[in-house]
Chains A and B, each alone.
Chain A
Amino acid sequence: MSPFTSIQLQLSDYTGTILYAISLLFFIVYGFYGARIQVYFALSDIGRGLNKLKVMKDKARKETIEYLTNTGKTPTDPTERIDQFLDYVTIMPVDIDPQGLVGKIDHVVTTRNDRVRAEVGALITKNDPMTVSVSENLLEVASSLNMIHKIVRHYYLLGKKTNSYFTLVQLQMIMPMIIQEADALLNAIDSFKVGQPVGDGIGPVIASRYMVGREKQPIAKDTVMAISEYKGRKLYVVKAEGPMAYVGQPGVAMQKIIEEMGVKPSAIIMVDAALKLEGEKSGEIAEGVGAAIGGIGVEKFQIEEVATKHKIPLYAILIKQSILEAITVMRKEIAEASDKVVQTLNRVIEEKTHEGDDVVIAGIGNTIGVAQ
């Protein structure tokens, strides 16, 4: 037997022991440093997502500046002013005494919207309603992305600084959803810039079918109403004023129709886009009861108040879509659902009201690219 073969045999005798020692060492190291290893992986994962968010918010800012400069024809470089807008904050009212809270929120939000519109109007020289409304929406998108990036960065740095495994893992788990929402916001810019209807505009599309060719009258800020007729029923149709990128004030409009104009509707029917659950098809229609409207809650409160006070049943027709589809150009399957929505709406009118009744119909959503 050669000396080399002897060493080989000796080594093979120790192989099991060596492997056992290594695995034991691994478990000991992992026992002591497991959390740190997880923190390392979480940090690198979140770091990648954070970089993506930074690219997105920078792109949104750049696109907004370009739109205001090229389309809005700003006389001077708007970069500094836009950067100030991106950090614009809205301080919500105190809620420890909730009485009258909705009115306060409404006041604060209205003040904010009025100020943004006035400042955008002053910033651009081509201040027609379409350009101003698109500029407002682009600023909103850029501001939202800026805020998302800031918040994620805050928790990333906080987790890193405190070596907090649980802070980082929570952030890591929701990161895919944050990126998805940010991506949807970024994609919305392209549709808004050229005035294409977005998925959220399906409600206004349906309302416009009942308004076209009829006389329109302003009923609330950025909101119009037309009186139409269907099988002996008088329809009061409400939508935001298009084709600007407005959402209007349907709550105020309904209060005016019912309390100021003295209309006594037998039903209020609201048509709106609704976020689908995973597995549901885009363009699916769901019926229900209640105020079909999203947002901060002010409009929903106003509609529920007036409907409850006058005991008017509230019916809802919802068109399912994802968050991406809701804020980017309207997809074929959603647009093509409009005929079916009109049929459903007509059926609800026939079933829930009688000839000679008044009915309020509201098309809820951003009405960009949808006139009336």
Chain B
Amino acid sequence: MMSSVPATEKKSKLLVYTIEECPVCGQKTKRAFQVGDYITKEASKCPKCGNTSRIILIYGESERVK
């Protein structure tokens, strides 16, 4: 009966990353998300083979803060 509004959950800061993949050699690179990034967008040159990489994923990873 005496339910109450929950105390603020432990705040976790989300760091957002962009994952690029080279369609030729499969090399994956992870970098911080930049405004304008979207999945399937052509991105930087592959550091391994020099072909144009493509953004395959964008996700947030939580980092606990005190």
Could you tell me the dominant secondary structure of chain A's interface residues? helix
Cβ contacts under 8 Å, A332 to chain B: 59-61
Partner of A212, one of B33, B37, B54, B57: B54
Cβ contacts under 8 Å, B40 to chain A: 208, 212, 242, 370-372
Cβ contacts under 8 Å, B16 to chain A: 196, 329
Cβ contacts under 8 Å, B54 to chain A: 212
Asked whether, in the complex, the Cβ of A179 is within 8 Å of the Cβ of B5, the reply is yes
Partner of A329, one of B2, B36, B59: B59
A103 within 8 A of B: no
Contact count band on B: 20 to 34
Partner of B59, one of A180, A194, A330: A330
Give Cα A330–Cα B14 distance, bound, in whole angstroms: 10
Residue of A nearest to B1 (CB): A169
Instruction: Take A329-B16, A332-B59, A335-B57 as given contacts and tell me if A242 and B2 are in contact as well, using a CB distance cutoff of 8 Å.
Output: no
Asked whether, in the complex, the Cβ of A242 is within 8 Å of the Cβ of B38, the reply is yes
Instruction: Take A38-B1, A212-B54 as given contacts and tell me if A195 and B60 are in contact as well, using a CB distance cutoff of 8 Å.
Output: no
Count residues of A near B (Cβ-Cβ below 8 Å). 35
Given contacts A173-B3, A330-B60, list 5 more A-B pairs with CB under 8 A. Answer: A179-B5, A180-B6, A194-B33, A208-B40, A242-B40
User: Would you give 5 A-B contacts (Cβ < 8 Å), ordered by A?
Assistant: A194-B35, A197-B59, A328-B14, A370-B40, A371-B38
- Which residues of chain A have a CB within 8 Å of any CB of chain B? 38, 41, 45, 48-49, 52, 169, 172-173, 175-176, 179-180, 194-197, 205, 208, 212, 242-243, 328-332, 334-336, 338, 369-372
